[in-house]
Structure 1
Amino acid sequence: MSNHPVQTVSTSNDKYKVILAVVAVISGVAAFYILANQAGWVRVIALLVGLFAAVGLLATSDLGRDFVNFAKESVRETKKVVWPTRKEAGQITAVVFGFVLIMAIFLWGTDKFLEFLLYDVVLGWKK
């Protein structure tokens, strides 16, 4: 017997919910532009109705529930992170800038040395 998890294909109802959610968003945006001669608040309400309908439809689908679970897990994992103090962050930043400065000087020096070696010694070109 295998212990591999079985991934199920979402039902056709979930596919229809996602399609209807996309249609709701498109309808809300279309209503916003169709109602161009109406007051601004009417247009915004039409847009929000379409967006909320889409969110409601997606929230009831497997895809929406999976996304909500993922978001909750992400927040939970973020709370576990040990963030550095202001002093530690400043020290780490100083080390990074110092390293970048040393590498820049090293690469500049290497470039100048190779330039001297190639142009002056090998090719005999004098500037």
Structure 2
Amino acid sequence: MADKIKLLVAFLLLVAGIVGFYYLHESAAVLQLASVLVGVVLAAVVAYTSEPGKRFFEFGKDSVAEAKRVVWPTRKETMQTTGVVILFAITMALFLWAVDASLMMVVNGLMGRGE
């Protein structure tokens, strides 16, 4: 039950930051931004004290670690793959144009509208 209350408080702090943004609509943009940032930071701190919050932040750290292990393609591989995709798109466009034109000619011929 304590975790649910902590998450509710975190949500209310987040909402308070957003409400502060709109409440300060005539103030400087820095104050509006500060209102949202304070709400987000306080909400994150409160959420982190709950068990689901700790699991969420641990998941985030694991995700960052996993992203660092990804092997990204080289520039050459990227350019080759992009070229294949563009060539395939052009080929499919020409094929579909040919099919469309052929069907149009057949339909016009069947309807007696020879060109």
Q: What TM-score comes out, normalization by structure 1 length? A: 0.75
2:101 corresponds in structure 1 to 112
Tell which deviates more after alignment, 76-85 or 43-52: 43-52
Identical positions, percent:
38
Alpha carbon RMSD of aligned pairs, Å? 2.3
Match of 1:19 among 1, 5, 8: 8
In structure 1, distance between residues paired with 2:102 and 2:78 = 36
In structure 1, distance between residues paired with 2:31 and 2:101 = 67
User: Is residue 57 from structure 1 mapped to residue 46 from structure 2 by the alignment?
Assistant: yes
Q: How does 1:1-127 map to 2 (within 5 A)?
A: 12-34=1-23, 44-120=33-109, 122-127=110-115
Measured at CA, do residues 34 and 105 of structure 1 come closer, stay the same or move farther in structure 2, by a change above 3 Å? closer
* Offset, 1:54: 0.8
Q: Deviations over 1:53-82 (max 9, x none)?
A: 211111111221122122122122212221
* Offset, 1:50: 2.7
Q: Read off the aligned partner of 1:68 and give its amino acid letter.
A: F
Tell which deviates more after alignment, 37-46 or 89-98: 37-46
In structure 2, distance between residues paired with 1:36 and 1:114 = 60
The unaligned stretches of length 5 or more in structure 1 are 1-11
Q: Read off the aligned partner of 2:41 and give its amino acid letter.
A: F
Q: How many residues align?
A: 115
- SS state of the match for residue 88, structure 1? helix
* Offset, 1:109: 0.3
The unaligned stretches of length 5 or more in structure 2 are none
Q: What TM-score comes out, normalization by structure 2 length? A: 0.82
